[in-house]
Amino acid sequence: MRNYRSLMVVSLFVGLCFVCSLVYGGNKRVCDTVCKMASVKNGVRQISYNQFMKIRNSGEKYTLLDVLSADSYQEGHIEGSLSIPFDTINAETAGKALLKDYPVVVYCAGFKCSASTSAAAALTKLGYNALDYKGGLQEWQKKGNKLVK
Find the mean pLDDT for residues 19-43.
55
pTM over 0.75: yes
pLDDT of 94 above 90: yes
Model pLDDT, residue 40: 87
Model pLDDT, residue 87: 95
Considering the chain, what is the average pLDDT of its residues? Answer: 83
8 A C-beta contact, residue 52 and residue 78: no
Provide the β-strand partners of residue 45: 40
8 A C-beta contact, residue 144 and residue 85: no
pLDDT tier at 37, thresholds 50, 70, 90: low
